[in-house]
C-alpha cells in the first residue's frame, strides 16, 4: 500500500489541515503560531523571574545573618 502525501483541509476550520503522510492535524494560522511563541517566551520569563526572586531572598537572608553576627559582637 502506497503512502499518501499532501495535505487536506479540515472541515469547519479554515486554519487546520491534515497531513496525509503522518495523519497529523496542523494549524496553519500564523497569528496562532505567534501567540504560542509569545506564550512560551512568557513562561520562560516567569520561570527566570521566580529563580531571581528566590536568589534575592537567599541573599537577603545571608546579609541579615551577617548583620546579626556583627551586631552581637
What is the spatial distance between Cα 26 and Cα 6, in angstroms, rounded to a whole number? 12
What is the spatial distance between Cα 13 and Cα 17, in angstroms, rounded to a whole number? 9
Total-model pTM: 0.60
Residue 58 CA: distances (Å) to CA of 7, 33, 44, 49, 68? 54, 38, 21, 14, 15
Grid cell, residue 67, equals 548583620
**Mean pLDDT (10-residue bins), the chain, 73 residues:** 80 92 93 96 98 98 96 88
Query: Are β-strands 16-19 and 25-27 bridged in parallel, bridged antiparallel, or unpaired?
Result: antiparallel
Amino acid at each position: 500500500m502506497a503512502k499518501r502525501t499532501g495535505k487536506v483541509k479540515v472541515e469547519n476550520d479554515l486554519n487546520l489541515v491534515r497531513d496525509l503522510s503522518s495523519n497529523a492535524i496542523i494549524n496553519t494560522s500564523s497569528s496562532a503560531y505567534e501567540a504560542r511563541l509569545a506564550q512560551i517566551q512568557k513562561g520562560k520569563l516567569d520561570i527566570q523571574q521566580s529563580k531571581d526572586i528566590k536568589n534575592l531572598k537567599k541573599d537577603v537572608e545571608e546579609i541579615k545573618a551577617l548583620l546579626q553576627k556583627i551586631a552581637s559582637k
